[in-house]
Amino acid sequence: MSYGISKLLQNLMPVLVLFGLMIFTYLFVSEEKIHAIPYFSQIPLVTLGIAVFLSWKFNRINSFYFLTLCLPVYAAQVFLLTYPVDINSFATQLIVAIACLILPLNATIMKTWRLAAGISFTNFKRLLFISSQFALLYWLLKNEQLIVLKYINPEMLAPFSPLPSVFPSSSIFIIPLAILVQIYSIYKKPNILEIHQLIALIAIFTGIFFIEHLHFTVLVYAGIGLMFSIAVIQESYEMAYIDTLTRLPGRRTMEEELQKLSGCFSIAMLDIDHFKKLNDNYGHDVGDQVLRMVAKHIRRVGGGGKPCRYGGEEFSIIFPGKMVSQVMPFLEILRDEIATTPFALRNKNRPKEIPSERQKKKTPSKLISVTVSIGISDSHKKNADSEEVLKTADKALYKAKKLGRNRSIYMKNTSAV
């Protein structure tokens, strides 16, 4: 399984668990017991509110506006469910239209608006755009303006709608459009929050089938709030601790790992040989591809090593509880694997799209050799300072480069007393 798919499944696991618990509760816990929970219908307002705050705090603007839309949609459904539900009533039809038309339409429109962080005129316009719609809908609901039903539920579309009658007939266009736009957004820029938005839309539309059951509606929106809260925190953590290019833990992670070290340990520093020359000759795009290729090998290092991207073309590997004699064989295997793996440069004349018929290559892609130099040091004595061991490993790295590169050099740490 590739790293990307594995990471995606890991990110989606809380969602699967969350919705699994929701389905279990809905199927096997009686509605009377759920309603006995104090302030049960207010739970989604809390979870959605927390998710809105976190999205704003961590600058996840798309999620912020989507969740801002979810809050009044849920509030409208709770208002409806405080009374006996009449599927054919004006209130039911209008509130269902909010979930099936207003929410997906706005979510789609927001994809075309320029993102802006913090307090800005762009964000003010967005909030004004959203609030004015719900103010109008509230006025329509309060004054029972039945004429609006002609627009949200045209009779000419009703015979062609495969959806149950509770759905407005115009939703046969709006719902698929919103889902397709969301799928395209995920395709263009894969992102766990965008995936969660697609899941949330599908969950909300599914909830319309069970519009008469308050506890199902509460579970859906409470789940959406929790799902986005977890995802925003998780993504913000990754931004702080994971290097976006190589997907290895970043320098901040390494600094925290250094503070945890005690007893015996080893630290290795790796540097890609002639990286500046490679960048100058082939461009930074090739340089980024080389960094990702090297990181892929480093991620698989044996011996219990914890790899990090130190910065630029440098990487570090921390081996807790291991001395140099125990980890050197794994580092040599790593160095040899990188050196013997040819790196193929993309042909400049290569078409952007795959041709319908494969043609035999007239000129093979140019292969270049990528090597790394490694410096390593260990604690030597149990009271060694991890920062000093790191500096010693860095000195060993520069010694390896001076001696001809593509080699591993051990240097004894003498800071411990």
Point out which residues pair with 308 in neighbouring strands. 316
Q: Please say if 313 is a catalytic residue.
A: yes
Secondary element (H or E) of residue 210 = none
From the candidates 144, 155, 313, 337, give the one annotated as an active-site residue.
Answer: 313
Q: One-letter amino acid identity for 119?
A: I
pLDDT tens for the 417 residues of the chain, in order:
445 556 666 667 767 777 777 777 777 777 677 667 777 888 899 999 999 999 988 888 888 889 999 998 888 888 776 666 566 777 777 888 888 888 888 888 887 776 666 667 777 788 888 888 888 888 887 777 777 777 777 666 666 566 666 777 788 888 889 999 999 888 887 788 888 899 899 888 888 887 777 778 888 898 899 989 988 988 888 888 888 888 899 988 898 888 888 888 999 999 999 898 888 888 888 889 999 999 999 999 988 899 999 988 999 999 998 999 999 999 999 999 999 988 887 655 544 444 445 455 555 467 788 999 999 999 876 667 889 999 999 999 999 999 988 999 998 887 654
Per the CB < 8 A criterion, the answer to whether 331 and 397 are in contact is no
Per the CB < 8 A criterion, the answer to whether 70 and 97 are in contact is no
Give 304's contacts (C-beta < 8 A, 6+ positions apart). 319, 320, 321, 322
Q: Which of 105, 157, 99, 165 is nearest to 129 (CA)?
A: 105
Q: Which of 246, 273, 268, 270 is nearest to 371 (CA)?
A: 273
Per the CB < 8 A criterion, the answer to whether 315 and 308 are in contact is yes
- From CA 105, how far away is CA 376, in angstroms rounded? 57
- What is the CA 134 to chain-centroid distance, rounded? 30
- From CA 290, how far away is CA 22, in angstroms rounded? 45
